[in-house]
Amino acid sequence: MRTGSEPRTARSPLRMRFWLSLWGILWTGFGTAAFAITDRPGWAIACGVLLLITLIDMVVIIRHIRQGPHFQPGRDVPPYQPPEG
């Protein structure tokens, strides 16, 4: 049943974001190394910037996961109810 409060009570898919960030770190790290070896500095810098962004995202994700059920509720925690009024 939909209550209309879904945008305020939605849960973040942190585990999925974690694995996608890990996948991104692997590929951008590989791309940075491959382009650096093949002497393409522009592409290596671009991949390096994406690697930095992905690493920052991974740090934020891990921080939110470690903050506990407020940011990553388990299956036994019901959705938050919007405040009345």
Query: At 72, phi and psi to the nearest 5?
Result: -135, 75
- Asked if residue 9 lies in contact with residue 80, where contact means CB atoms within 8 angstroms, the answer is yes
Task: Return the pLDDT at 66.
Answer: 85
Q: Is pTM beyond 0.85 here?
A: no
Task: Return the pLDDT at 22.
Answer: 96
Does pLDDT of 50 surpass 90?
yes
